[in-house]
Structure formats: C-alpha cells, structure tokens
C-alpha cells in the first residue's frame, strides 16, 4: 500500500502489456508531479493528467523537473523513462524495466557471447529487411554492404518523391540546429524511434547494450532493432516534414508526425513480436519477481530456503 496516497502498488500481471500501451510522450520545460494514480504535467499553458500505466515511454527533455513522487508512480506502473537532450535528440539516462524476470536477458547474453549464434541472430535481423532473398550464406561484410546499398536507395527514392535534396547523412549530435532540415528531421525521428524501441527492450527484460550487429555502446541493441523500422517509418516521415516550407520547429513537427504514426499501437506489438522471434522464444506475458539460486549441478534451486544442512 502506498502510505501517502493510499494507492496499492499494482501487480505486474495487472498492468497493460507493453504492446497495448501508448508509444511515447515528450515533455520539456515543464514540472512533472503526481496526483493520485496519474502523472501531472504543468507548464505555462496549464496542467494535464496522464495515466502513467498506459504510456510506454516518457521522454524528458531540457527544463523538465520531476518530483520523487512522480518517479515512484512511474516506476510502479512499469513506464520507461528516457532523459534526452534538446528537441528529444541524444540520450542521457534511462529508468527501470517493466520485467523483473531475466529469462530473455540470459538468452540474449548466451546468443551474443557465441560467434556462431551471434552471426545467426544478425543474419535473422538482416533477413527481415530482405524478405524475398536468402542471406543465410552471406558474411557479415556482405550483409553490411547489402544493407548500405538498400539504405542509400531508400534515401534517393524519398528525395525524388518529396523533392528534398539529399547529399548524405551529416549531423552533429551536439549541434542539432547546425544540420540542414532533412538531417534535423531524421535525427528527431530516429531519436523518437530509439526511445520507443528502448522501452520495449527493457520492458521485456532484455539488455539495450548487448547488440548483435552494433557493439561497444550501451544502446547497441536499440540501434540493431530500430534499424528494422527506419525505412518504413522514420525516413519517409522525415522527408515529408522536411519538404514543407512552413515548418517553424522541425524537431517538434517531426516528433508529432512520428507519434501519429505510432498512435495505433501496432508498432509496439510488432517490435514485441520481432524481439521474441529474434531471441527464438514464443511470445509470453511478463513474469514478475521470479527469483532462484544458481547451482552448478542442479541448475536452478529455490531461494529463501536454508541450505545449512547441505554444507
């Protein structure tokens, strides 16, 4: 029981599944607080109430103040939090996972730690982008080459369709405004996608840092998974926004367009299914608070039991 508000902390099984949640909300220059079972956001325009349990990820931008009580509710409801830079670009920190179970995390660590299985998973992810081709015998170098050609072709196609000039992906993470409109739009769109993908990854108990294609970064797996959806979602949106002549805040307009594309929740369901498929596991509900002790001979044994007589 919550001693201050009188609200009982919900069981994980009672919370909305990750695939059933609203994708993301971006907040900046506002005060985030709590009123009963809802998050309140206050800025110069007034106050809005947000049921925390139905949001997949909250993106907190510059000028956002969050109370301890708000973070307590957000954590209890299994909502992911990502602290971002200006206009939602750059990732500074993130909050806790929805799942307390490590089954998928252990599977991910096993797959990424073996060269043969790591290549197999990487090929599976590339196969998802080349549905009508067999990539099972291609090397990682060949796969990277094919993917590079595919992405360049997508950029050229969108440039021709929208009339937006394309000279290449050029941007400075520390200077959003220094990029041209299309690169600004791409940065904003991709960051929104990264936040969403991150929230699903950690909600299922997977590690955002254990990537199969990308490596060496604490968001490597996020980049792996996000790359599966850029061609159909964020790249077309970015070119569409960049083609408009009356956009005052391209970062904001792009985020809104990405949010509109996510609004039906299908992308979260797809990411969830794809992650289970990539891990070679059937989709399942999040299991809460399952704790065992590891034994080198018996595998898993019950925790909370005195084993003194066996010592």
| pLDDT tens profile 137-192 | 899 999 999 999 999 999 999 999 999 999 999 877 777 777 889 999 999 999 88
Binding-site sequence positions for Mn(2+): 147, 214, 227
Average pLDDT over residues 56-71: 86
For the CA atoms of the chain, what is the radius of gyration? Answer: 21
**Confidence bin at 12 (pLDDT 50/70/90):** very low
Average pLDDT over residues 208-232: 94
Q: Where in the chain is the domain with CATH 1.20.120.920?
A: 103-279
Give the annotated binding-site residues: 147, 214, 227
Calpha distance 80→55 (Å, rounded) = 8
CA-CA distances (angstroms) from residue 179 to 167, 176, 250? Answer: 12, 6, 11
Orientation angle between helical segments 181-203 and 250-262, nearest 10 degrees: 40
Structure tokens at 130: 């080349």
Q: Is the pLDDT of residue 203 over 80?
A: no
CATH 3.100.10.20 positions along the chain are 22-101+286-309
CATH 2.30.30.40, applies to 103-279? no
For residue 33, the model assigns a pLDDT of: 94
CA 306 remoteness from chain centre: 40
Query: Percentage of the chain surpassing pLDDT 70?
Result: 76
Q: Whole-model pTM? A: 0.69
Instruction: Give the CATH fold of the 22-101+286-309 domain.
Output: Ribosomal Protein L15; Chain: K; domain 2 (3.100.10)
pLDDT value at residue 87: 53
- Predicted local confidence at residue 287, as pLDDT: 39
């Amino acid at each position: 029981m919550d001693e201050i508000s009188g609200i009982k902390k919900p069981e994980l099984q009672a919370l909305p599944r990750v695939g059933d949640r609203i994708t993301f909300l971006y907040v900046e220059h506002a005060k985030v607080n709590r009123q009963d079972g809802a998050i309140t956001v206050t800025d110069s325009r007034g106050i809005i109430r947000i049921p925390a349990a139905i949001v997949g990820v909250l993106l907190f931008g510059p000028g956002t103040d969050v109370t301890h009580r708000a973070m307590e509710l957000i954590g209890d409801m299994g909502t992911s939090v990502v602290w971002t830079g200006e206009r939602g670009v750059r990732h500074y920190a993130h909050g806790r996972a929805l799942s307390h179970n490590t089954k998928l995390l252990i599977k991910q660590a096993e797959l990424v730690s073996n060269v043969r299985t790591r290549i197999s998973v990487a090929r599976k992810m590339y196969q998802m982008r080349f549905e009508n081709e067999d990539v099972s015998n291609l090397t990682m170098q060949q796969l990277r080459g094919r993917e590079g050609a595919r992405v360049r072709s997508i950029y050229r196609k969108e440039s021709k369709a929208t009339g937006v000039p394309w000279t290449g992906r050029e941007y400075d993470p520390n200077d959003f405004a220094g990029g041209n409109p299309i690169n600004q739009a791409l940065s904003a769109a991709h960051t929104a996608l990264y936040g969403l993908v991150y929230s699903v990854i950690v909600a299922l108990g997977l590690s955002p840092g254990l990537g199969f294609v990308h490596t060496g970064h604490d968001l490597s797996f996020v980049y792996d998974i996000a790359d599966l959806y850029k061609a159909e979602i964020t790249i077309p949106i970015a070119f569409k926004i960049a083609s408009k002549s009356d956009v005052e805040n391209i970062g904001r307009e792009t985020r809104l367009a990405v949010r509109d594309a996510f609004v039906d929740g299908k992308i979260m369901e797809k990411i969830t299914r794809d992650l289970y498929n990539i891990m070679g596991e059937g989709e399942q509900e999040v299991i809460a608070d399952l704790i065992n002790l590891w034994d080198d001979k018996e595998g898993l044994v019950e925790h909370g039991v005195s084993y003194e007589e066996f010592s």
